[in-house]
Structure 1
Amino acid sequence: MHARAVAVTTTALLGVALLAPLSHARAAHADDADGPSVIAHRGASGYAPENTLAAVDKAAELGIRWVENDVQRTKDGRLVVLHDNSLRRTTDVEEVFPDRAPWNVKDFTAAEIARLDAGSWFGSEYAGARVPTLEQFVDRLEHHHQKLLLELKSPGLYPGIEQQTLKVLANEGWLDRHHVAGRLVVQSFDADSIRTVHGLKPAVKTGFLGTPPVSDLPEYAEFTDQINPSYGSLSMSYVSSVHAFTGPHGRPMEVLTWTVDAADTARLVAGYGVDGIITNRPDVVRDAVGEAEDTVRG
């Protein structure tokens, strides 16, 4: 187990000494900017339709390095980037295929999904945006020199998706030393899925979505580098507990929290010492807390 010291700074104001604990990011990266890494949730989804190339472009326009996405599998075995198991909320699938309720991703071919409008629901200016394949998504990230926090969504619905995702990433050049060292994390709510990813490709950094009990952290530290909880479940003591463990790559485990869109909440969780904040409004969070050069390390 790796203990991490908490750095403390003293500020005098009107003759009163004020003690303020520095964040974990500051302690680990004293020469960096002030705050945790900012990760664009499903792209900059507060400003463009989620999980589309337009959302990736918007994140790049805002200067955001890390982009989070969700991966699922079509009926004919292609990997596409979409959050919901159903296509209904974020596409016009009800109009195009009215007789195929409940419109689950796994019941449509990639060609059928490619026909759908995935942008009009968000705004008319995005009419005609498509559900991207994983290949298209990482190609756009590469174009912008961005980094990827990839979520395996509902892996229980798609047996073997871990190996398939790694194969696509390898084919697209995302499993070389450069990408694995600092541009890729694979996460899931399913601990077994993340354990599988680690077993298949130990070099790939992984994250578990959730807040496991502190007593279970030694087990998680064997196969995941990050514990990534919702912000409502966080406390400073929990973040410190996670940081006290060494992950499978020999570094202290990290904490990325989601989904934080308000400046005051961002400042709160930054004060807990989180390593990254996942947000629909990355500019708001960055302006509120600053951003370390590369807190989410490879």
Structure 2
Amino acid sequence: MHARVAAATTTVFFGLGVAILPTPPAGAVSADGPVVIAHRGASAYAPENTLAAVDKAAAMGFGWVENDVQRTKDGRLVVIHDGTLERTTDVKRLFPGRAPWRVKDLTAREIARLDAGSWYGPGYAGVRVPTLRQYMRRLSHNHQNLLLEIKNPELYPGIESQTLRLLDREGWLDPGHLRNRLIVQSFSADSVRTVHRLRPGVRTAYLGTPRITELPAYARLTDQINSDRGKLSGPYVSAVHAFKGPHAKPLKVFAWTVNRADEARRLTEMGADGIITNAPDVVRKAVTAY
């Protein structure tokens, strides 16, 4: 990407017409360094997207965790990354005739029977796929913060409003949580837009790396651009920071998924505001000097 973006224009995007882009400021690193987010919990050390991974992150001293939310056949929200259950559970053994074992094809009661820990290691045998309600209550107990991803929203019509209702019932949409404890993200711009429309106070993030000329459109609906680490550059991060999001604050950039110290340092030097990682201890040690 190019650092000089003043006078560039957008094509029509999300209903916007031509827009003049501001000149980005020079890249700068926060005095506190980037926030470190434990990806699917501390998933280098415990089975991903489980309460065990959340607890491991808490025990290691990490306040931010990331998760993925999908919906069961009978309409319950569960925390799991893949659209199918085969990789991280024993679903093939319990339900051999239910291939391809999609999350949306099994009920919450059926999913609750699955072992979601043995694939990772024998010490986690019997760990379960948590419901979102169980997950939120564990975060509240641990005083942790959440970067919540709405996964595969095209498969689950209305999942945005359903997720927000559950968060509201669990006390996560009060001013304190909205100010600094919750971010909702998605690879779907439509899903991010829907969250912003339903609950304008919620901080949102778009998962992807839009072109610089598209950033004015994204700034209408999201507070952050959360990008694949390999697609970021210093000029691009500076360009993102030049825009203000719907809450009148500069857009932030989180990078994923970063597990090596050298990558963490490189992204910190670029000015990334957050680093999403399976190994939060490795990243924290790497960026402490910044």
Does the alignment reach a TM-score above 0.5?
Answer: yes
Residue 122 (structure 1) aligns with: 120
Equivalent pair of 2:25/2:242 in contact (CA under 8 Å) = no
**CA offset digits 1:242-281 (Å, max 9, x no partner):** 0000000000000000000000010001110000000000
Residue 262 (structure 1) aligns with: 260
Equivalent pair of 2:45/2:53 in contact (CA under 8 Å) = yes
Q: Give secondary structure in 2 for the equivalent of 1:51.
A: coil
Equivalent pair of 1:231/1:258 in contact (CA under 8 Å) = yes
Partners in 2 of 1:279 and 1:179 — Cα distance?
Answer: 22
Displacement of 1:151 after TM fit?
Answer: 0.1
Partners in 2 of 1:130 and 1:224 — Cα distance?
Answer: 33
Residue 214 (structure 1) aligns with: 212
Q: Give secondary structure in 1 for the equivalent of 2:65.
A: strand
Residue 285 (structure 1) aligns with: 283
Partners in 1 of 2:236 and 2:52 — Cα distance?
Answer: 36
Equivalent pair of 1:81/1:134 in contact (CA under 8 Å) = yes
TM-score (norm 2): 0.91
Partners in 1 of 2:22 and 2:159 — Cα distance?
Answer: 33
Equivalent pair of 2:25/2:238 in contact (CA under 8 Å) = no
Residue 230 (structure 1) aligns with: 228
The one-letter amino acid of 1:232's match is: G
Equivalent pair of 2:52/2:127 in contact (CA under 8 Å) = yes
Residue 154 (structure 1) aligns with: 152
After TM superposition, the runs of 4+ consecutive aligned structure 1 residues lying more than 3 A away are 1-6
Equivalent pair of 2:49/2:79 in contact (CA under 8 Å) = yes
Residue 112 (structure 1) aligns with: 110
Displacement of 1:290 after TM fit?
Answer: 2.1
Q: Give secondary structure in 1 for the equivalent of 2:53.
A: helix
Q: Give secondary structure in 1 for the equivalent of 2:253.
A: strand
CA RMSD of aligned residues (A): 1.3
**CA offset digits 1:17-50 (Å, max 9, x no partner):** xxxx741x23xxxxxx3x2000000000000000
The one-letter amino acid of 2:108's match is: A
1:242–1:145: structure 2 CA closer, same or farther, 3 Å change rule?
A: same
The one-letter amino acid of 1:207's match is: A
Q: Which runs of 5+ in 1 are unaligned?
A: 7-20, 27-32, 293-298
Residue 167 (structure 2) aligns with: 169
Q: Residue 195 of structure 1: which of 193, 196, 213 is its match?
A: 193
Partners in 1 of 2:82 and 2:215 — Cα distance?
Answer: 29
1:216–1:151: structure 2 CA closer, same or farther, 3 Å change rule?
A: same
Count of aligned residue pairs for this structure pair: 270
TM-score (norm 1): 0.89
Partners in 2 of 1:63 and 1:256 — Cα distance?
Answer: 20
Query: Percent identical across equivalent pairs?
Result: 64
Q: Give secondary structure in 2 for the equivalent of 1:212.
A: coil
The one-letter amino acid of 1:180's match is: L
1:240 has 2:271 as partner: no
Partners in 2 of 1:234 and 1:80 — Cα distance?
Answer: 31
Q: Which runs of 5+ in 2 are unaligned?
A: 1-20
Partners in 2 of 1:88 and 1:4 — Cα distance?
Answer: 45
